[in-house]
Amino acid sequence: MGKSATAALLRERHIPVVDTDILARELVEPGQAALAEIRRVFGEEIIGADGNLRREALASRVFGDADARQRLENILHPRIRDEWKRQVDEWRSEGCGCAVVVIPLLFETKAQEEFASTICVACSAVTQRRRLSERGWSAKEIEQRVAAQLPIEPKISGADFVIWTEGDMEAHARQLDRILEVIQGPERGCGASPAAAS
């Protein structure tokens, strides 16, 4: 949809960002408690000889099985939330007036209530599928992942702001800058609470 591009643009504007996809990857590194629990729940076959999570093997298990996906989410989502909330608390203690948490499953996890503002980063279904295909995903993988999320329409309706990413990066940046002007106000001081991008 364009969340990573939005995060990059925010960092260029010196706005602190925490990306929950990155947190999720860190939580399943060797030696982490989440990886040990995933191994216990899903079996040794999803761990490689080097001790790393075999992401594709796990994805094939969970995206074709709603119960398995729920078990994985029960392991990861509370830990991910604890981590981004810790980061938000740290920003607040430092007096940071504006920061962003990137949460792909913002509305699915009901995390939107934690934020002063929400930004939905969206594109058409056709563009989304083309972009995922360009990353090397199969048609089946794309369908499984899309089916595991809310449709984009309720996310757009539930967000305070929308960035439509069908255009080029210049158009993307202009949309983001207009949103930041509203969130940060004329003083560019930002509100007292972070925003979330979904």
The phi, psi pair for 88, rounded to 5°, reads -60, -45
The pLDDT of residue 82 is 96
CATH 3.40.50.300 given to domain 3-197: yes
Please report, for the chain, the start and end positions of each structural domain, with discontinuous segments joined by +.
3-197
Each residue's pLDDT, cut to its tens digit, for the chain (198 residues) gives 789 999 999 999 999 999 999 999 999 999 999 999 999 999 999 999 999 999 989 988 888 888 999 999 999 999 999 999 999 999 989 988 889 999 988 998 899 999 999 999 999 989 888 888 888 888 888 888 787 788 889 999 999 999 999 989 999 999 999 999 998 875 554 444 556 666
User: Contact, 28 vs 123, CB < 8 A?
Assistant: no
Q: Which helix (H) or strand (E) holds 147?
A: helix 139-147
CB atoms near residue 18 (< 10 Å) = 21
Helix axes 3-12, 169-184, angle to 10 degrees: 60
Model pLDDT, residue 138: 84
Q: Which of 23, 57, 24, 22 is nearest to 39 (CA)?
A: 57
Residue 46 Ramachandran class (φ > 0 left, ψ -120 to 50 alpha, else beta): alpha
What is the predicted pLDDT for the residue at 140? 83
